[in-house]
Amino acid sequence: MSPKRAPGSTRSAGSAGSAGSAGSAGSAGSAGKRAAAGPRVGQTVGRFEVEKAWLVDPVLGREGPGEIVVADGILESVVWLKGAEAAGLDDKGVVVAPGFFDLHAHFREPGFEDAETIASGSAAAAHGGYTSVALMPNTSPALDEPGVIERIRAAVRAGGSPVEILAFGAVSAGRAGEQLSAMGELADAGVLGFSDDGAPVRTPKLLRSALLYAGMFGLPVVDHAEDLELSEGAEAHEGYVASILGLAGWPVAGEVNAVSRDLAVLEDVLRDEPRARLHLTHVSTSAALDLVRRAKAAGLPVTCDVTPHHLALADEWIAGARRWSWEALGADGTSRDPWADGVLVATPYDTALRVNPPLRTPADAAACLAALLDGTADAVATDHAPHTVVDKEVEFGRASNGISGMETALGVLLAMVDADRLPLARAIAALTAGPAGIVARWPGVAATPVARPRGLTEGAPADLVVFDRADRWRVTPETLRSKGKNSPLLGRELSGRVLLTIAGGRLAYEDPEAASTEG
């Protein structure tokens, strides 16, 4: 590690580099010295310490200066520092948090291995600080029968990454929106729930059956809320920016209609099946979030997530703006005009920005943040959607939807923290205890390890991420481990370089310049 990362040194006790040094503030400690026989990805972490860092434990609701020790893959000790020992330590440097849990990612295997594989996706996850990832079933073949989940599990074993890979089964056979998939067999095979993501559950009737059957297994239906009639042919959020750019609009009503349909069907099904659960993923509009807020207040068992890109970017990026969404808000909370502001600095129609649901207005982004702050949104999920270059190097409206987002999620949220829009502890909770809390509300998996609380728990297998808020890194095709280089943040610097990710006691990622663990 470089001295600028101190305080918050990491070291491997017993290695030559750290001998005699307490790794205290300002000391180089084990700086830059790779432990002679450090563990490789997948191996149990023998011994690892972080001294004088900032710990965040969203389960205890506690953050502050502290130290941790990992021994033989177990989080052996968590020490909260007080008084003189804590002097000078703040949350602006090295942070230790529980490993992140992504409820929505696309690893493209089987079927689209040019875009991503289980191995490359797991590497991207670990580089982003994630130790658990739930995959969507829009593979080819779709994950609509247990054979496909077996293929995914075989790829996980072959890849050797310790990142925990979970999966949603398809709602409908072939995700065709007609017949239900083999839901019972999929439940037996251990899917986390059901979704036709990539597309909404096609009809209210199909959704009704799906919620009912999934509910019998205590599992949720996760819906991508989109009214396909209203969004047909759409290229961008329907509004001012799309009008000027000449792009076909995806209206707010398309999401509102779908969310209200889903909530009405859920309410109905609950009378027959009280274990029915609905999760709405990547909700993107203020109006739809209001519906979720009201449904939660009325006691409906619904949860939702928002994405980093809907929080921090806005539709004006398609025109060439590159300011964060909160910088595009007027004093009265309305969206500013990027043309009037003279902030169009990039080439318009960057297809890395084509995503579904589309980037909305700055006011919608602010509503996503407000939902995260008031608990309407339970978690941040990435909707990591890697694509090949050929699927993106076409006209804007013909480009595949999706952003390769797993490795930039932390940096994007930290930009919101740096701007005093989001407390650090809330950002971390949205990536850890938030998704765990959603899963804990699904009766079929609530008592399984997947729903573990995800704090910094002494005596449990180490599952954590260490990152440095003071260390900025540039997003480039080379720094992204994902095969998908389709990020609108390419070229941009983000804070919060991930130094180390440990999943289930095993090394998942280590920054090459900061290697300091021991096998």
Active-site amino acid positions:
383
Rounded CA gap, 436 and 433, in Å? Answer: 5
Q: By CB under 5 A, is residue 224 in contact with Zn ion?
A: yes
- Contact region for Zn ion (CB under 5 A) — 72-80, 192-200, 227-235, 313-321? 192-200
CB of 282 to Zn ion, least distance (A): 6
Tokens 């040094």 sit on residue: 21
Q: Check if the beta carbon of residue 386 is closer than 8 Å to that of residue 402.
A: yes
Tokens 């001998």 sit on residue: 19
CB of 224 to Zn ion, least distance (A): 3
Q: Check if the beta carbon of residue 501 is closer than 8 Å to that of residue 465.
A: yes
CB of 281 to Zn ion, least distance (A): 6
C-alpha torsion angle, residues 56, 61, 62, 68 (rounded to 10): -50
- Contact region for Zn ion (CB under 5 A) — 79-87, 217-225, 253-261, 311-319? 217-225
> Which CB atom, from 38 or from 200, has the smaller least distance to Zn ion?
200
- Determine phi and psi for 271, rounding to 5 degrees: -65, -35
Rounded CA gap, 1 and 155, in Å? Answer: 33
CB of 319 to Zn ion, least distance (A): 24
Q: Is 233 exposed, middle or buried (0-12, 13-18, 19+ CB in 10 A)?
A: exposed
Rounded CA gap, 104 and 251, in Å? Answer: 23
CB of 72 to Zn ion, least distance (A): 40
CB of 197 to Zn ion, least distance (A): 4
CB of 226 to Zn ion, least distance (A): 8
- Contact region for Zn ion (CB under 5 A) — 201-209, 219-227, 411-419, 460-468? 219-227
CA distances from 514 to 187, 210, 421, 435, 501 (A): 41, 48, 30, 29, 12
> Which CB atom, from 144 or from 197, has the smaller least distance to Zn ion?
197
Rounded CA gap, 118 and 312, in Å? Answer: 27
Q: By CB under 5 A, is residue 511 in contact with Zn ion?
A: no
CB of 303 to Zn ion, least distance (A): 16
> Which CB atom, from 225 or from 433, has the smaller least distance to Zn ion?
225
Q: Of the candidates 51, 197, 364, 511, which one interacts with Zn ion according to CB under 5 A?
A: 197
Map residues 92-131 to x or -, x wherever contact with Zn ion holds by CB under 5 A.
----------------------------------------
Which residue type occupies 495?
A: S
> Which CB atom, from 39 or from 137, has the smaller least distance to Zn ion?
137
Beta partners for 494?
473
CB of 413 to Zn ion, least distance (A): 20
Instruction: Give me the residue whose beta carbon is nearest to Zn ion.
Output: 224
Rounded CA gap, 19 and 96, in Å? Answer: 23
Beta partners for 48?
70
SS3 per residue for 380-442: ECCCECCCCCCCCCCCHHHCCCCECCCCCHHHHHHHHHHCCCCCHHHHHHHHCHHHHHHHHCC
CA quadruple 303, 123, 100, 380: dihedral positive or negative? negative
- Contact region for Zn ion (CB under 5 A) — 60-68, 82-90, 174-182, 191-199? 191-199
Q: Which two tokens stand for residue 232?
A: 């047909």
> Which CB atom, from 96 or from 210, has the smaller least distance to Zn ion?
210
> Which CB atom, from 116 or from 463, has the smaller least distance to Zn ion?
116
> Which CB atom, from 98 or from 137, has the smaller least distance to Zn ion?
137
Q: For residue 278, how many C-alpha atoms fall within 13 Å in the half-sphere facing its CB?
A: 34
- Contact region for Zn ion (CB under 5 A) — 7-15, 146-154, 196-204, 477-485? 196-204
> Which CB atom, from 305 or from 468, has the smaller least distance to Zn ion?
305
CA quadruple 476, 308, 460, 119: dihedral positive or negative? negative
- What is the three-class DSSP state of 192? coil
CB of 168 to Zn ion, least distance (A): 11
Q: Which of residues 313-352 bind Zn ion (CB under 5 A)?
A: none
- What is the three-class DSSP state of 516? coil
> Which CB atom, from 9 or from 284, has the smaller least distance to Zn ion?
284
Q: By CB under 5 A, is residue 483 in contact with Zn ion?
A: no
Question: Which strand (E) or helix (H) includes residue 439?
Answer: helix 433-440
> Which CB atom, from 155 or from 385, has the smaller least distance to Zn ion?
385
Tokens 């059956």 sit on residue: 209
Q: What is the largest CA-CA distance in the chain?
A: 68
Rounded CA gap, 418 and 415, in Å? Answer: 5
Using CB under 5 A as the binding criterion, the count of chain residues that bind Zn ion stands at: 2
- What is the three-class DSSP state of 208? helix
Q: Characterise 70 by phi-psi region: left (phi > 0), alpha (psi -120 to 50), beta (else).
A: beta
The residue ranges that bind Zn ion (CB under 5 A) are 197, 224
